[in-house]
Structure 1
Amino acid sequence: MRSSRHTHMRFLGVFALLGSLAQAAPLAAIPPAAAPPAKDTSKLLHSLPLRFEQDAHGRWTSHGPGFAALFDRRATVMRVGDRVVSLSFTGSNPEARFNASDPAKTQTNYFVGKDYRSVQSFSRLQQTGTYKGIDVVYYGDGQRLEYDFNLQPGADPSAIRMRFQGADQVRVNDRGEIVLKLGTGEVVQNAPVVYQRVNSKEVVAVESRYRIAENGDIGLLLGDYDRARPVVIDPAMLYGLYLTGSNADAAVGVQVDQHGIVYLAGYTYSTDFPLGSNGYQLFPAGANRNGWIWKLNPFAPAGQALLYSTYFAGNLDVDLRSFAVDAKGVIYFGGTTLASNLPVTSNAYQSALANTNALNEGFVAAIDTTQSGTAGLIYCSYYGGSQIVTINGVATLGGRIYVTGWTNSPDLPLAGNSFQSALAGGYDAFVAEFDPGQGGTSSLVFASYLGGFLTDVGRSIAVDQFGLIYVAGSTLATDFPTTLNAFQPTNSSAGDGFLTQINPSAGTIPYSTYIGGSDTDVATNVLVDPATLNVTVAGYTYSNDFPITPNAAQPAYGGNGDAFVITLNINAQSRPAELVYSSFYGGSDTEITYGLTRDPSGRYGICGYTLSRNLPVTAGALNPASSGQNIDGFMALLDPNAALTYASYITGPGYQVASGIASDSSGNLYVAGYTTSDIFAHGPTKSDDPGNIDVFFLIVAPGAATAANRRDPIDVFYEGADKLTTNPLPRPRQAER
């Protein structure tokens, strides 16, 4: 949230419905704009963004799933199910007026019998001068009704007195939240968290909490703060989203561009996966496994966040496994499929399935997300031979598509200066380069096997600004091709990770090494620092003697499988690569790594899943502890120049997997994955049956620390601060506890 001349106090999830009152919740902040014709129209209405409009009597109203609200100068009145509850501000200005802003691009039309009425709706509703120097602004986050207090400099927050009427009970719980009990259900308002930004590098946390007066009014109690500066109440979880269809849905990764635009992709078994109306393919071919793509601006006004979305589907399974995005908004993706009717383009290298044995075959595709409909599909081609071909990793440079994976096909199509022209073992890794700008068979400009006598799997791929390719994966082979300057020239008997640098123009391997210890090691991700050309690999290891540097965030092996991050300087071709950084990350049980990113400060973000109940977490973790019931997701930020910067569980009563992570120019972390649980303590709620697998996406700002006014480490961080000072909260009197 941006600082301004005004004090800004924000309360998220003000009217979060719990218990038996909760109806089908919205798909977080971004509603689907199109759906299969058979979809229930009542669900379509529930997917519309929250708006404010005037009724026939000139009163301001709003509607959402399970509630309707009426706003006047005296109170905000909400009907929740069969109950009515009101929020009024004691001692407020009775002459305070409402002003609406951010008009919707379309009007709402009402047809009641023969009566017709067209109404302009708005995204924000402000009551000006509620108290002296204090305004109240109502708005929607998707379909959730929220409100802010905007305080001018010098305004007194202690003047704010909230009175809730119509509830069976009003209380402040152990988390500092206001809880309204309505029969067997509850309405929850989040606890306040306050800070002041002194300058661009220093933040001062102000402790805060709600206080219930003897007459039942609820006020705000703040610690010491500078009244001449803005005060901000802001969550660290900057954004949260579920994507839910009626069947299993999963994300395989996330990317964010230089403008903060987010790209998500994955696979779904749902025929009603939430999509907009501008995609290449709006409906799946069947209830099999299909790919999907989303492009969104998470901080756009409600209803304007979804920029592009599409299925990528066929008559049989389409498993979208990896993707990359360029600066022009083109998404390049690949995976494996059984479908015989993929939408191959006229410039495709291979227009039909190569195998006739009902085996998985690779595919590569590119879609321009700035174009609507069929105009967006730039390239689509099969890539396969007579046996299995699976694409696991995708990268891009200059409009070209680079892929890696694994195959047991002895007739995989090769091109250019292949350095390995034949299958060496049962399964080999491979690397291929496609140029959609060239037509037909010319679009495959380079392809080669990569492997030894036993199984080799290419899992991730990167390309530097010079067109050199980097592949990371795992191998059981003791004769995997390594170079004389390898960091680790030999393999353990249990299998190791590998890192290989390829010059496709020359058809050579300038650098290749094993990565591991005496037990099993798997490299899952690779990235290249464009400034230094140092290469970083993430993965997981069962080796307690995995090579670790003295500056490791976690120098000791946790046990039973840990995540790892390792950085190598491979530029000195005449000597073994320099180990720049290496660290474990994990608890006493298993961690599996799926995602890797590097932020602008040179810190490495990783994500995946864990079985550990003692995972290292930091102050301010989104979830400081596991629910202890199943596997959990995790995200961590490791600083090679310091210690563990940030780490958190992503937990719930079911199971959670964080499959992708990215970082923006401000150092915010973007994490996507899938879950069977409702994982956001303060944010959107899953709208389908508990236990169904759904996509989640979140943004966090891993900063200094949290305010200490909650009993558990809360999901609030202070973005971009080098220093944090905490001003204490006055000890509450017994009557206020």
Structure 2
Amino acid sequence: MKLLAHLTKAIVSTVIVSGALVVLSASVVSAEGRKIPVSPSTAKAHLQEAYGKLPLSFEANRGQADPQVRFLSRATGHTLFLAPTEAVLMLRSRERVNRYSLNVKRAPHDATTQPPDDSTARRPNDSATQRPNESTIEPHNDSTVLRMSFVGANPKTRMEGQEGLPGKANYFLGNDPKKWRTHVPTYAKVHYQDLYPGIDLIYYGNQRQLEHDFVVRPGADPGSIALSFQGADKVEVDAQGDLVLHTAAGAIRQRKPVIYQEVAGLRRDIAGGYLLREKRTVGFKVDKYDPSRPLIIDPVLIYSTYLGGSSSDVAGGIAVDAAGNAYVTGGILSTDFPTTAGAFQTTLGGDLDAFVTKLNPTGSALVYSTFLGGSAFDEGLGIAVDAAGNAYVTGDTDSSNFPTTAGAFQTTLDGFLAAFVTKLNPTGSALIYSTYLGGSSFDEGLGIAVGAAGNAYVTGDTRSTNFPITAGAFQTTLGGSAGAFVTKLNPAGSALVYSTYLGGSNNDDGKGIAVDLTGNAYVTGDTDSSNFPTTAGAFQTTLGGDGGDAFVTKLNPAGSALVYSTYLGGSGLDRGLGVAVDASGNAYVTGDTRSTNFPTTAGAFQTTLDGFADAFVTKLNPTGSALIYSTYLGGISFDEGLGIAVDSSGNAYVTGDTTSADFPTTTGAFQASAGGALDVFVAKFAEIGPSATLTLQPPAATNPVNTQHCVTATVEDAGGSPTLGMTVRFAVTGSVTTGGAAATNGSGQATFCYTGPQIPGADTIAAYADMNNNAAQDPSEPTGTATKTWVGGGSSPGAQLQDLIHLVDQMNLTKSLQNRLIHDLDKTLKDLSNTKKPGKACKDFDKIIKDVQNKKGQQDLTADETADLLNRINQIQTSLGC
């Protein structure tokens, strides 16, 4: 999967539980046999890096924007509108205030302060919290609009898209299908022809910066260019020559223009810069240049510094299909064309649409971008993809006209905020179905999975006492002020297969969901409820503390009963954020914890809390009654596991983020130290430790000299299952000194081959499973040994003498000594062959022995080498009867 291979270039660490570390793979396989991403959160972070390098995609206006707009571009935190007489940039500010405290998490405290009381301190997006009266809730988000007008320009300039892109844009905005737009063409550039006499303008860029080249043809006057800025309180040119536009919501910087001409195929820079005129109007000053050649003036608008933390809005969720295409959902600024300039604060105002973007496997191009929304606020928070490439999206909306489809389960907004579930076709150009999912209050979809039959499984949280629940469901009433829900939709999205509340008398929410081959749903999240539903014999049946615990619940295929349900936590705050399941029904959970007594297992990678909050990784057995393994994962600050996946061998792949400078990384990791205030990590965990075994086959063997010998190591975990991807290191000592390393295959086997010596001898082959991949053997790592005996081509004196010649030829001697010894030994061999009389050969050996003894202990022949040579000569002399 090329995309994931690209994304994993930014790996911070690869860590293995119970002391075993193995090499990260680019993709893993689900229980259904499909390739799946290492983790949504890793993809989210590193896809952002790839996404930022993509060219801006300029859409032709086909009715998705105001008629005066000819082209528009939407990217992280901004929308650009291009009209004949102006360019309008709408930017979202760095910090977005959450709309509803329904989605407010416990906030991590500053490292310089005392940790807050876990019972009240919550991070953004954690639904288990105190909630305000609904009448006082008002979502808002700070934005600014910057208008750049082309003063004195040609209002009839011809605008055209250039360099068509393969991706298409699709718009499902509002609930009137007649107004939906699909297959909208996109371009890498927009060309204004004759914007000023003899001057063209070309827009292009990437997700972090916007470039616009003024192309001044021969004879045209660059002094005619005049740009007027509205929405900026102050416009100035700083000491670096940059144009700084000060807005109420922050500063936007336009770099000093690069001015140049092409001469004989080479670029010749021309001195110049910005020229401030009256009333926030800017032109360009250009030094002497050749007016007979075109002149390029290239200013670059950098908006990534303004957007800052809004990069987190790129992806609320990510999925990857079997071909390696990535599907991203989140929220993006709407296409509502602003009629004013300057900073503004939207309230319940349609300033955000949900989006689904599909990128090709290399991450180098968009396949499609589809926008979903109504007149208010819409955001995608979770996404899944089936084997056919259909995308399933969940999130929340407060738009009464969110796009729904005929026959869908729920086509009207019944409360303040509803979850939604939308299924898109593989090209993103049609809604297979789209439905609200909610009651009369506040509901949001946070996680989604898809079963083999095409059923969507959704979890999230709700405050609605009338959330749609099915007859016979496990829990039919809301137990507290906010509860989790688990809903299974039929493949057509027209009916609920089942839908149930899940919670106790306080606050509970579902964050992650997975489904196994038989249709059991596995849900994780967090709860403050002391009476959260648990099952007899479950691992933990009581709430660990006032801060709240993670939970892991397995629902039967009918949604009518709990197969098992357990708390998972200690005395502090613990949250489950991601869950996966293997073919055997083991559940793998990750999240974060502030508990010093979070349940861990003996021999786990990390058994103590090292910071304010650590990630955790836990594997539960199929009955939910015991932990197979459980470990902290973190450093001295804040760390959280956000996503988890499992391959067919039971290796767990965990990703999340960390603010710890000492987050555990490993030797050889791509990035072994922190790169900033917040970093992403990825780790691979396997169930292996001191109880694991390594065996070598064959354990003993005899081969002729100078032939190849192979030995195979088999690594099995504590339960006797083969371990995939384990690095096994081999070392050979004896007649040959060599070594190497190989990774185990699906059968847990790694093979190492080497060529034997030219003369008879014996070797010992030692191997160990390098579980933490540090190229050093640790006491807990399983080992194995084998022996190898090399026999000569014959036992005759002539064969022994040939072996001796080969030995001398391989020795690290001075050239003069080596040549002399080989010459004398070769002469001895010829004498033995020609005369068949041992007497002459015996005399030859006397000379060789004297030569060897004279060099004993000197630089070019060590004492050990001398002893070995004399011993071998003595054996040959004995055979000859000397």
**Could you say if the C-alpha distance between residues 143 and 268 of structure 1 is closer, same or farther in structure 2, counting changes exceeding 3 Å?**
closer
Is 2:494 the counterpart of 1:510?
Answer: no
Are positions 1:610 and 2:596 aligned together?
A: no
> Partner letter of residue 389 of structure 1?
D
Q: Secondary structure at the match of 1:237?
A: coil
The alignment status of 1:580 with 2:563, answered yes or no, reads yes
For the residues of structure 2 that align with 1:672 and 1:490, how far apart are their CA atoms? Answer: 35
Q: Say whether 1:447 aligns with 2:447.
A: no
RMSD across aligned positions (CA)? 4.6
Is the partner of 1:373 in helix, strand or coil? Answer: coil
**Aligned in 2, Cα 1:395/1:284: closer, same or farther, shift over 3 Å?**
closer
Q: Compared with structure 1, are the counterparts of its residues 289 and 640 closer, same or farther at alpha carbon in structure 2 (3 Å cutoff)?
A: farther
Cα deviation, 1:667-716, whole Å, max 9, x if unaligned, reads 01100011111311544486676861011111111235469xxxxxxxxx
- Is 2:663 the partner of 1:663? no
Shift of the 471–264 alpha-carbon distance from structure 1 to 2, 3 Å rule, reads closer
Pair 1:545 & 2:528 matched: no
1:365 maps to what in 2? 357
- The 3 A distance-change label for structure 1 pair 312 and 640 is farther
Contact 1:472/1:523 (8 A) holds in 2: yes
- The answer to whether the 8 Å contact 1:395/1:403 transfers is yes
Q: What residue in structure 2 maps to residue 432 of structure 1?
A: 422
Matched, 1:383 2:368: no
Identify the match of residue 469 of structure 2 among 479, 482, 486: 482
Q: Distance in 1 between matches of 2:520 and 2:406?
A: 27
- 1:410 is matched with which residue: 381, 389, 400? 400
Shift in Å, 1:322: 0.7
Q: What residue is the counterpart of 2:616 in the other structure?
A: 634
Task: From the two aligned structures, give the one with the greater strand fraction.
Answer: 1
Q: Amino acid of the residue matched to residue 426 of structure 1?
A: F
Deviation of 1:279 after TM superposition, in Å, equals 6.5
CA contact (8 A) 1:619 1:705 kept: no
- Distance (whole Å) between structure 1 residues aligned to residue 359 and residue 47 of structure 2: 21
Counterpart-to-counterpart distance in 1, 2:77 and 2:442: 34
Q: Deviations over 1:594-617 (max 9, x none)?
A: 110012321101111111111111
Classify 1:639/1:688 alpha carbon distance in 2 versus 1 (closer, same or farther; 3 Å).
closer
Whether the aligned pair in 2 keeps the contact of 1:503 and 1:510 (CA below 8 Å) is yes
Q: Note the residue ranges of structure 1 that are not aligned, 5 or more in a row.
A: 1-26, 33-140, 145-189, 194-233, 242-252, 291-310, 342-353, 708-717, 731-737
Distance 1:478 1:665 in 2: 41
Question: After superposition, where does 1:639-650 map in structure 2 within 5 Å?
Answer: 639-641=621-623, 643-650=626-633
Following the alignment from structure 1 to structure 2, what is the Cα–Cα distance between the partners of residues 289 and 254? 33
Residue 48 of structure 1: aligned partner: none
The one-character-per-residue Cα deviations of 1:260-286 (angstroms, maximum 9, x if unpaired) are: 785555599999976599977899899
Query: Unaligned stretches of 5+ in structure 2?
Result: 58-74, 79-90, 96-205, 210-302, 337-345, 693-714, 722-777, 781-882
Which amino acid is 2:396 matched to? W
The residue aligned with 1:394 is 383
Q: How far apart in 1 are the matches of 2:13 and 2:464? A: 54
Partner in structure 2 of residue 556 of structure 1: 542
Q: Which residue of 2 aligns with 1:498?
A: 485
Q: CA contact under 8 A between 2:77 and 2:333: conserved in structure 1? A: no
1:526 CA drift (Å): 1.6
Deviations 1:308-342 (A, max 9, x none): xxx9779764420112222222222211122759x
SS in 2 for 1:362: strand
Tell me the distance in 2 between the aligned counterparts of 1:520 and 1:413.
Answer: 30
Q: Say if 1:339 and 1:447 are closer, same or farther in 2 by CA, change over 3 A.
A: closer
- Contact 1:267–1:319 (Cα < 8 Å) also in 2: no
Distance in 2 (alpha carbons) for counterparts of 1:510 and 1:663: 27
1:696 aligned residue (672, 681, 706):
681
Mapping of 1:17-416 within 5 angstroms? 236-239=20-23, 262-263=37-38, 317=310, 318-338=313-333, 357=349, 359-369=351-361, 373-374=364-365, 377-397=366-386, 398-416=388-406
Contact 2:614–2:639 under 8 Å retained in 1: yes
**CA contact 1:403–1:461 (8 Å) conserved in 2:** yes
Does residue 721 in structure 1 map to residue 696 in structure 2?
A: no
What TM-score comes out, normalization by structure 1 length?
0.53
Judged with a 3 Å threshold, the aligned counterparts in structure 2 of structure 1 residues 447 and 674 are, in CA distance, closer, same or farther, namely same
What residue is the counterpart of 1:422 in the other structure? 412
Q: Would you say the 8 A contact 1:470–1:499 is kept in 2?
A: yes
1:565 paired to 2:565: no
Aligned counterparts of 1:661 and 1:268: Cα–Cα separation in 2: 11
Higher helix share: 2
- What one-letter code is carried by the residue in structure 1 that aligns with 2:20? A
The 8 Å contact of residues 619 and 706 in structure 1, kept in 2 or not, is answered as: no
CA pair 330-495 structure 1, distance change in 2 beyond 3 A = same
> Are the structure 2 counterparts of residues 488 and 273 from structure 1 closer, same or farther at C-alpha, using a change threshold of 3 Å?
closer
Moved more, 483-492 or 676-685: 676-685
Q: Is the 8 A contact 2:513 2:578 kept in 1?
A: no
Change (3 A) 1:719 1:404: farther
SS in 2 for 1:320: coil
SS in 2 for 1:564: strand
Partners of 1:266 and 1:321 within 8 A in 2: no
Larger Rg over CA atoms: 2
The match for 2:817 is none
Identity %: 34
Q: Compared with structure 1, are the counterparts of its residues 268 and 568 closer, same or farther at alpha carbon in structure 2 (3 Å cutoff)?
A: closer
CA contact (8 A) 2:40 2:643 kept: no
Q: Is the 8 A contact 1:237 1:700 kept in 2?
A: yes
Q: Deviations over 1:113-158 (max 9, x none)?
A: xxxxxxxxxxxxxxxxxxxxxxxxxxxx9999xxxxxxxxxxxxxx
The answer on whether the counterparts of 2:52 and 2:208 sit within 8 Å (CA) in structure 1 is no
Does the aligned pair in 1 maintain the 2:374–2:401 contact within 8 Å? yes
In structure 1, distance between residues paired with 2:34 and 2:53:
21
CA distance in structure 2 between the partners assigned to 1:143 and 1:597 by the alignment = 21
Equivalent residues, number: 448
Cα separation, 2, equivalents of 1:703 and 1:644: 14
Counterpart contact for 2:511–2:524, Cα < 8 Å: yes
Give yes or no for contact 2:449–2:458 (8 Å, CA) kept in 1. Answer: yes
Decide whether the 8 Å contact of 1:446 with 1:504 is kept in 2: no
CA contact (8 A) 1:473 1:498 kept: yes
Q: Check if 1:526 corresponds to 2:513.
A: yes
What residue identity is the alignment partner of 2:523?
Answer: V
Cα distance change on mapping 1:598 and 1:289 into 2, 3 Å? farther
* SS of aligned partner of 2:539: coil
Distance in 1 (alpha carbons) for counterparts of 2:368 and 2:47: 26
**Residue identity in the other structure for 1:238:** V
Specify which of 428, 452, 463 is matched with residue 465 of structure 1. Answer: 452
Distance 1:269 1:597 in 2: 18
Quote the Cα distance in structure 1 between the aligned partners of 2:488 and 2:7: 42
Q: Which amino acid aligns with 2:319?
A: A
Matched with 2:290 is none
1:679 partnered with 2:663: yes
Describe the shift of the 1:411–1:274 C-alpha distance in structure 2 as closer, same or farther (beyond 3 A): closer
C-alpha contact (below 8 Å) 1:255/1:324 kept by paired residues: no
Q: Structure 2 CA distance, aligned partners of 1:468 and 1:661?
A: 21
Q: Give the secondary-structure state (helix, strand or coil) at the position aligned to 2:595.
A: coil
In structure 1, what is the equivalent of residue 257 of structure 2? none
Q: Distance in 2 between matches of 1:415 and 1:474?
A: 24
